[in-house]
Structure 1
Amino acid sequence: MAKGKVGKTVESLGNFSLGDYLREQRLASKLSLRQLADLAGVSNPYLSQIERGLRKPSAEVLQQIARALRISSEQLYVRAGILSLEEGAGGSVELAILNDSLLTERQKQSLLDVYQSFLAVNARTDNPKE
């Protein structure tokens, strides 16, 4: 299952960054940068900056890009460091927060931060030696 981890910067999995992953998916879909930007509803320069690792997109933008590429938004959340795949607690809470269209990006981030703090406290309580 997925356990949420809020990322503060664009993170990579191994040597494969979010930008690299997006570029690979875009090329596999035979889309130009401009075409994907149009399909995702973002500007061409912004998408270029995401691919080059200069910008960290919001969960909402990642969802739009995932929809345009016809891939799972969870995959992009993991690549962006918003979620990490680990055994244990499920990521359904994080995904529910990220997919809630009634919340603003700031509200989503706040809820994720609070949830992560609860998980951290519980982990320390369960493992008092750490």
Structure 2
Amino acid sequence: MNFGRQVGEIIRRQRELAALPMRQVAGMVGISGPYLSQIENGLRAPSDQVLRNLAETLGIPLDDLMDESADDDAAAEDAFKEVIKADPNLTAAQRRAILEVYSSMVAATRSQRQTRD
């Protein structure tokens, strides 16, 4: 999946700078060690609340993590769109339809996230 590799690296670096074991940080945040490992490796996207808890626990400004997360989201969206546009197995109409559905799903997810915040 590769979500948030930069976010995960920031979290790992800050945890290591604080000389905190992964299990301890996970416990402080209220998540499992394997889940934190997946976040640090960019394999899982943390919820907004987990991201807030990690930022608070590690003393990282939440905006720094959110900005990186937004950059990762934008890059993933662009990459997906480029793959669809370049697929020779799709007609122009199919490409437009997929991109429209994708864009509406992304907008709905963003709206839900903002409502939760």
TM-score, with length taken from structure 1: 0.52
Instruction: Say whether the 8 Å CA contact 1:56–1:80 is kept in structure 2.
Output: no
The 1:11–1:50 alpha-carbon spacing in structure 2 relative to 1, beyond 3 Å, is closer
Give the match for residue 111 of structure 2.
110
Task: Classify 1:83/1:63 alpha carbon distance in 2 versus 1 (closer, same or farther; 3 Å).
Answer: farther
In 1, Cα distance between the equivalents of 2:72 and 2:62?
Answer: 11
Q: 1:108 deviation in Å? A: 8.2
Provide the C-alpha distance between the structure 2 equivalents of 1:61 and 1:46, rounded to a whole number of angstroms.
Answer: 11
Does 1:71 pair with 2:72?
no
Distance 2:59 2:113 in 1: 25
How many angstroms apart in 2 are the aligned matches of 1:54 and 1:44? 14
Deviation readout 1:40-69 (Å, 9 max, x if unpaired): 111111101001111011111100001110
Contact 1:10 1:56 in 2 (8 A): yes
Q: Percent identity?
A: 37
Q: 1:80 aligns with which of 37, 59, 69?
A: 69
* Alignment length (residue pairs): 81
Query: How far did residue 73 of structure 1 move?
Result: 1.1
Determine if the alignment matches structure 1 residue 38 to structure 2 residue 39: no
CA distance in 2, matches of 1:38, 1:76: 20
Partner residue, 1:58: 47
Asked if structure 1 preserves the Cα contact closer than 8 Å seen for 2:4 and 2:72, the reply is no
The alignment's TM-score, normalised by the length of structure 2, stands at: 0.57
Pair 48,83 (structure 1): closer, same or farther in 2 beyond 3 Å: closer
User: In terms of Rg, which structure is larger?
Assistant: 2
More strand by share: 1
Answer 1 or 2: which has greater helix percent: 2
> Out of 10, 15, 18, which is 1:21 matched to?
10
Deviation at 1:70, TM superposition (A): 1.5
Task: Classify the secondary structure of the residue corresponding to 1:63.
Answer: helix
Q: Distance in 2 between matches of 1:112 and 1:44?
A: 25
- Over 3 Å counting, the alpha-carbon distance change for 1:55 and 1:112 in structure 2 is closer
Q: Unmatched 5+ residue regions in structure 1?
A: 1-8, 85-106, 114-130
